[in-house]
Structure 1
Amino acid sequence: MRISSWRIAVLALACLAGQGAQAQLFGDDQARQAILDLRQRFDQSVAAQNRLVDENTQMRRGMLDLQQQIESLRGELARSRGQEEQLTRDLGEVRKLLGTQQALDERLRKLETAETTRTASDTAASQPPPLPNESAAAGEKQDYDAALAVFRAGDFKGAQTGFAGFVKRYPRSNLAPSALFWLGNAQYATRDYKEAITNFRSLLTASPNHQRAPEAMLSIANCQIELKDTRAARATLESLVKTYPQSEAAQAGRERLSRLK
């Protein structure tokens, strides 16, 4: 019985030792596999992260390119808006010039008949001395008509030269007030408002009873309005209404007064 028990014990120990060795071997294999799996997942994670970095880099480059395109479009839009605003201003100036031209043409049509029949009675109460001879009168009329023809053609710079030369050559002519009137209108058309005012005032000073005097005073007010001098324009219009109450220019002056702020 003792021998058998001892053998049984030895066999049992041998079995236990074998099982322990197998268990240790099995545990090492699992650990290796776990390490391999972990390394594989780590490599996959690193690869995925690298792809994300590359994609992020490409995305940033794309965003930079897009931002540059946006800035370029903004610049083009700003330039386009600037050109559009300039075109709008130019169009406004053209319309304004056309309006001035039409107003001058209308005024010229109204006065054209009177201009062709102008006599010495169109001047101030104190008449200038008579012309020395018929040829001088003919020469004055010819120069005056030539300047007026230039004005009618729309060459306002040329008309200024013609009428200014006429006033200088024939300061005592009965046509000098009319020449001053059209000289002022030609300067108004070219926006030389200050010089236009000077010549309209010269007409009023030399010939306050001239039939163009009311219109000259109205033209002075128009020049002052263009120069943004509303106070002076109002004073001129009030003087026009008071001095020449029955004239067409005074009626127009009343309308302008009602619109001035």
Structure 2
Amino acid sequence: MKRFLACGAVFVVTAVSSQAVWAFTDNEARQAINQLRQQLRVVTETTQQVNIQMSERIDLLELEISRLRAMVEELGGKPPGYSSTQGGAPVERANSVEEQDAFDGAVDLYRQGRVKDAAESLRAFLTLYPNSTLAPTAMFYLGSSQYASKDFRNSIKTLQDMVAKYPEHARAPDALLVVAGSQFELNDRAGTKTTLQQIVSKYGSSAAAQTAKQRLELF
């Protein structure tokens, strides 16, 4: 009888120990699954952020190509396959040699990468020649100089003013693209999306609109 009880006790202890082992293993498995889910979520969020950043870099490269083409035209050159007009309108010229020289000097500073000096010269040009035919282009370069200087808030203001005053100008959609870039830098996602939608809505046939559409797919 004692031997039977002893055997029974061993069986009970063994069964309880076996259940404890299985319970511990199941808990570990659940923790591992939760950790994997968290890691997957982090990877997904990181991938989305990288995609947005890469798209932003592509936008800026395309904008820089547009600027370079405009610069070549202003210097009198014509890159292969590029029209001698921009947005259906001829390249603008100043009404006087002095005015043209002031504009060219400011833009040369921008080309040289002296963006802060360029911004000062462009502001001076706009003060001296507020009604110049080159005023919208000067505003575009001013806003671009401010963007390059990381003066994002003033860049937004300058370029939004330019688009409001000259909505039909050939560089208006590109100006809004720079605005969207500044808003993105300021982490204003809602503003960025609104500006991109504005480009698509108002300037649907422009190259900037195609870029804006690609960016909107990430929102």
TM-score > 0.5, shorter chain as reference: yes
Contact 1:240 1:250 in 2 (8 A): yes
Match of 2:157 among 198, 204, 223: 198
2:158 match: secondary structure? helix
Contact 1:147 1:159 in 2 (8 A): yes
Match of 1:233 in 2: 192
State the match for 2:102 in structure 1: 143
Is the Cα–Cα contact under 8 Å of residues 156 and 187 in structure 1 kept in the other structure? yes
Comparing both structures, which one devotes a greater share of its residues to helix?
Answer: 1
**Off by >6 Å, runs of 4+ in structure 1:** none
Deviation at 1:108, TM superposition (A): 2.7
Matches of 1:167 and 1:147, distance apart in 2: 11
In structure 2, C-alpha distance between the alignment counterparts of 1:204 and 1:105, rounded to whole Å: 19
> What's 2:82 paired with?
none
Q: TM-score, normalised by structure 2?
A: 0.62
Q: Match of 1:253?
A: 212
C-alpha displacement at 1:116, in angstroms?
Answer: 4.0
Contact 1:156 1:190 in 2 (8 A): yes
> Counterpart amino acid of 1:254?
K
Check conservation: 1:122, 1:210, Cα contact below 8 A: no
1:1-261 to structure 2, matched below 5 A, reads: 103=61, 105-116=64-75, 137-260=96-219
> Structure 2 stretches of 5 or more lacking a match?
1-56, 77-84
Structure 1 segments unaligned to the other structure (5+ residues): 1-98, 124-130
Partners of 1:236 and 1:106 in 2: CA distance: 21
SS at structure 1 position matched to 2:137: helix
Cα distance in 1 for residues equivalent to 2:159 and 2:121: 16
Give the Cα–Cα distance (whole angstroms) in 1 for the partners of residues 137 and 154 of structure 2: 16
CA contact (8 A) 1:105 1:152 kept: no
**Could you give the per-residue CA deviations for residues 193-231 of structure 1, whole angstroms, max 9, x where no partner exists?**
010011101111111000000101111111111110000
Root mean square deviation of aligned Cα = 2.6
CA distance in 2, matches of 1:206, 1:195: 16
Equivalent residue, structure 1, for 2:16: none
CA distance in 2, matches of 1:213, 1:254: 16
